[in-house]
Chains A and B, each alone.
Chain A
Amino acid sequence: MTEETTVPLKIVVLVKHVPDVQFDRHIDSASLRLDRSESVLSELDEYAVEAAVALVESQGGFAAGHEVIAATMGGKSASNSVKKALQMGASSGLHLNDDALAGSDTVATSKALAALIEHVGDVDLVVTGMSSTDAETSVVPAQLAERLNFAQLTNALAVEFDGASRELTVRRDHADRTLSLTAALPAVLSVTDQANEPRYPNFKAIMAAKKKSITEVDLAGIGLEAETVGASGSRSVVLNATARPAREAGTVINDSGQAGIALVDFLAEQKLI
């Protein structure tokens, strides 16, 4: 990262509002949809916001004209995750808010997000977390690369950007190797939780975020028909979902010097050795 780019970068960082993993999470037995109360910015998206903001800071900062647009799709409360991203340093927010999005699988989700990114226009880089912590499919970034015809640099352990050549290099695990992969922009980048240390917004950053705008659009606004997303635009359907019975606590013993032997006795009883 020796030289800075002279052309401002337009970066979209995708954030998702998900049920907090610190609490028990539930799938509604009638709708088969996730209970989305108690939702927060997906912890793994904090790494994406940090990667986007840090990249801009390495290239002369926002004063140089770069943009980091924190974008989300979903119902009204999803904008809370955009607000958090603004506090972490994104320059503006974008919320695709439309009831018809509910029930989208990854095929439909990637369709809506690709249309949103095309609606923004002239995007150089899309940044995401490695996975959402709700559905955990981790495939939407690759699907966006497919739909947008952007280079796919996903599951990055580390990220470097060369402003002069406008090329991004990431490290990624692949089978029994770690690869360094380079591609020119435009690209879709997803970062793992090893890529950086997300910053914690301070009071000044929280106050500054209040002055930043969040633009709201609906499906018609980005040129998508409602039936091409949501349940009708999805290519898979959930038939049923049942909570696994809670595991029951077994025997608990105190070690009085022979617990290692008791452990092996237990393994033998269970025919595990």
Chain B
Amino acid sequence: MPSALVFFNELSDAPSKAQRELLTLASRFDRATLAVASEVPQFAQDVISGYAVDKLLIAPGNSDAFIDHALSALAAAVKRSEADVVLVANDNFHREIAARLAVRLDGAVITDAIDVSADLVVTKDELAGSYSAQAKATNGTLFVTVKPNSIEDAPQAQGQQLEVQPLDCEAAATPAIRIVATEAKAASDRPKLTEARVVVAGGRGVNGDFGPVEDLADALAGAVGASRAATDAGWISHDAQIGQTGVTVSPQLFISAGISGAIQQKAGMQTSKCIIAINKDVDAPVFEIADLGIVGDLAKVLPQAAEEIRRRQA
């Protein structure tokens, strides 16, 4: 049975939903180890001990130098755990450090995974979710980046004692990159777009007003998304962009409002479990993939739906 290592660059609070999904996936393997390249608060350790993780390795970051500490910590954790498979988040930062270490250790890296079997066959999305492929490593340690919402979060261990150890790592050998400024992003009470169970997204059809989209997202405790046309128009932050060049999402429910469904827009949403589309244009391609299509004015339909949800939940 292969052994697994999960790696988080930071764990400032309790593990996020995507991080808990990685811990659940790791429990399928032998001797799961978690390594974190920053301090791990006691509260987070308590949550982690609910998963079948044998060992927690902590390498506190002291670094103003971007990426170097994470690379050193992951390299040390791979060596220490002797893991056959390393599981990391699918975001850019974790993809990049996994890919660099695959090169450094002559191993393999597979991105956009939705599942990893006990014999290390990786199921992954290709071509923005229009294909499903299986791939495996032919040599060395396998690094896998796993998409959020792919594994059902299922803690299983009951009051298990978590063995916590410090992880020593070598000083960085790579050229220094200095962090010269840090800006916090505007805090939001909404769930993260990539991890959300519900996404309400607006496109060109919102005509500059994301109010109705945000209103329905809030009624459903969902995230707000947007097509590239809407972010390019400056109606909403680029962080909200979904599609070929933005993020692809796989929520339980995707509500598309005023998005035509051109092929690269469909690409960003087609792995959603349920799609509802609202568009004035009866010929919009989005209706070809929607479980429920509504030909109508989103400025009327969305507020009515939001009000009805609040009425039923009251």
Contact = CB atoms under 8 A, between A and B. Distances in A.
Q: How large is the interface on B (under 10, 10 to 19, 20 to 34, 35 or more residues)?
A: 35 or more
B220 A193 contact: no
B301 A236 contact: no
Contact of B109 (A43, A107, A246): A107
Contacts of A5: none
7 contacts: A22-B264, A134-B127, A146-B99, A183-B175, A241-B126, A243-B131, A272-B253
Interface in B274-314: 274-276, 278, 282, 287-297, 300-309, 312-313
B301 A263 contact: yes
Contacts of A204: none
Contacts of A174: 66, 93
Nearest to B274: A270
Given A106-B99, A149-B175, A139 B109 contact: yes
Contacts of B287: 249, 252
B136 A237 contact: yes
Interface of B: 9-10, 66-67, 92-93, 95-100, 102-104, 106-112, 121, 126-140, 142, 174-185, 187, 198, 220, 238-239, 244-245, 252-253, 263-264, 267, 270-271, 274-276, 278, 282, 287-297, 300-309, 312-313
Interface in A229-255: 234-244, 246-247, 249-255
Contacts of A145: 100, 174
Given A106-B99, A193-B245, A270-B291, 7 more contacts: A22-B263, A130-B245, A146-B99, A235-B106, A238-B135, A252-B293, A267-B276
B292 to A, nearest CB: 5
A10 B46 CA distance: 52
B135 A251 contact: no
A255 B300 contact: yes
Given A21-B263, A181-B180, A266-B276, A27 B127 contact: yes
A236 B136 contact: yes
B170 to A, nearest CB: 15
